[in-house]
Amino acid sequence: MKKALVFGGAGFIGSHLSAELLKDDYHVIVVDNLYTGTKANIPEGVEFLERDVTALCVADFPKVDEIYNLACPASPVHYQARPIETALTSIKGVLLSLEIARRDKAKMLHASTSEIYGDPIKHPQEEYDWGNVNTIGWRSCYDEGKRVAETLVSDYVRLYDVDARTIRIFNTYGPNMLRDDGRVISNFIVQALKGEDITIYGEGTQTRSFQYVTDLVNAVFKYMAIEKSELRRFFASVRLPIPVLNIGNPEEYTIKRLAKDVLRLIPESSSRLVFKALPSDDPKKRRPDITLAKKLLDWEPVVSLESGLKETISYFKR
């Protein structure tokens, strides 16, 4: 039986990933400090360690076959509350993952983010783009922590030939999100269900691309199934020094349109739209170019925003 180590496995995405690994007969070890994860999210059958990745070392873990590094708060409300811990989690979490992968000659997946592109200069965003990020802003603890983590993955690939793969996750949603997650889809749904005002920052013309969680997990499994030699050949052919892929839905929506769609799908809601000042460093546009993921993985999202919103609304109603 293969062993998989999932850092952040009690969180929104990590819990879905852990559940799928169990279905594939893995022995799954979930490590989470429960800052944004919950015990209710943890699938039955995993080995759970309530620990913080910043306080662990390689010797704390048995030999494993695969490592999935998702340990980091991903919503502004949570990472802004603990900015130093967020940056340290990104850096120490990826270092721990890389050292375990190096020791065990294991495959490793690092969950990066579309936020490494910052407020993008080019649109849509390609893996070749360097990003446009404020290093001293209120989002910097997350954005720069994730950018440093990508650098460390790159150096371990180059120096130690570690079999590490990076995904840049674009806005993802679905069941197991927290009610106070602070991200736009959960915010809008919870506000609508409570009959509270739907809060839109700015004029609502900023755009995002929304990916249902099952599409993301499907991409991760396809990515991890590819052997290292094939992976290296592919990325050399497309002139990227390390394996890194955008994983997201290329359909683009304005925030105002999303809010109206949520209200349409919750017709009993008495909520109305209200507009507030736009936060600093909030990206104006976000849409992934998934050309490389299509070529390498034969993958693209299949769940429509309408279908995904219905499932997510049902989850929050429960």
The answer to whether 142 is a known catalytic residue is yes
The DSSP string of 20-82 is HHHHTT-EEEEE---SS--GGGSPTT-EEE---GGG--GGGS---SEEEE--S--SHHHHTTS
Out of 26, 79, 142, 212, the active site residue is 142
Cα distances from 119 to residues 92, 116, 259, in angstroms, run: 26, 9, 22
Give, as one character, the DSSP assignment of residue 116: G
Pairing of strands 253-254, 207-208: antiparallel
Length of the chain: 318
Question: Of all helices (H) and strands (E), which one includes residue 102?
Answer: helix 83-104
Question: Of all helices (H) and strands (E), which one includes residue 4?
Answer: strand 3-7
Number of neighbouring beta carbons within 10 Å of residue 225:
9
Q: Distance (Å, rounded) from C-alpha 261 to C-alpha 188?
A: 10
Q: Distance (Å, rounded) from C-alpha 317 to C-alpha 32?
A: 26
Question: Of all helices (H) and strands (E), which one includes residue 247?
Answer: strand 244-247
Please check whether residue 52 is in contact with residue 158, taking contact to mean a CB–CB distance below 8 angstroms: no
Half-sphere exposure of 164 toward its Cβ, with a 13 Å CA cutoff?
Answer: 31
Catalytic site residues?
142
